Amino acid sequence: MVMASRKTRRRPGRWLAGIILGPVALTVLLVLPLRWLPPLTSSFMIITRFSAPPDAGALRYDWVARRQISPRAAQAVLAAEDQKFFTHHGFDFASIRRAVEHNQRSQRTRGASTLSQQLAKNLYLWPERSWLRKGLEAWFTAWLELLLPKQRILELYLNVAQFGPTVFGVEAASRLYYGKSAVRLNRNEAALLAAVLPNPVRLRVTNPSVYVRRRQAWIMGQSARIERTGQVTAANWAQP
């Protein structure tokens, strides 16, 4: 009877440990291999494959290693999306606070997602906003930052970011829009690709709008500044 009572008391503890450790183990299995292996696909690619209209064309995705991507592309996405990338741990709380204050005053919402948060969303989640998605996004972001080096997170982002309705990754985008590999992108071309990142379904690299051109020019200036600070240069970008 005593032994049976002890076993009964242990069961809730084991269930609780399973509830806590199960999601952790699953997350590690999903995130840690990306330290060395490229993702075969992403949740956004899967969603696009099944939701894109028939005339949108085939889904394009070509993984390339960091040394096969121009440092101009890395500078451009940092300039456009997350200039504090190398100094935060996945979350830019100052930008989040400013975005919340802005959204309380304006009907036009402003986001404050870092590259790490965007990568978590693109790899594992879905585009529609909800508290559930934001919570899961924060969870995966923390683990990406914990298990992967910053250079690897940036490399992954460049490879899975969406640059057109069915175009994923800077290599596929470079070959489609410029007819050359991503390693040969110049600052002007990289900035134009980065300019459509806020909404790659509506904003276009081909026949860009005035807004996209203005954004491209701003990104080019910021990219040059990022290079001068030494965050991403031709020398340190190619290092393993």
pLDDT at 77: 97
Is 100 a residue whose pLDDT tops 90?
no
pLDDT at 239: 77
- For the chain, the structural domain boundaries read 57-237
Q: pLDDT digits over 110-155, tens only?
A: 567 999 999 999 999 999 989 999 999 999 999 999 999 999 999 9
10-19, 96-105, 209-218: range with lowest mean pLDDT:
10-19
Q: Which residue would you say has higher pLDDT here, 1 or 32?
A: 32
Is 11 a residue whose pLDDT tops 80?
no
Q: pLDDT digits over 17-62, tens only?
A: 667 778 899 999 999 999 999 999 999 999 999 998 888 889 999 9
Q: How far apart are CA 202 and CA 209, in angstroms?
A: 10
Calculate the alpha carbon distances from 79 to 13, 113, 118, 193 in Å.
Answer: 48, 14, 15, 12
Domain 57-237, CATH? 1.10.3810.10
pLDDT at 3: 46
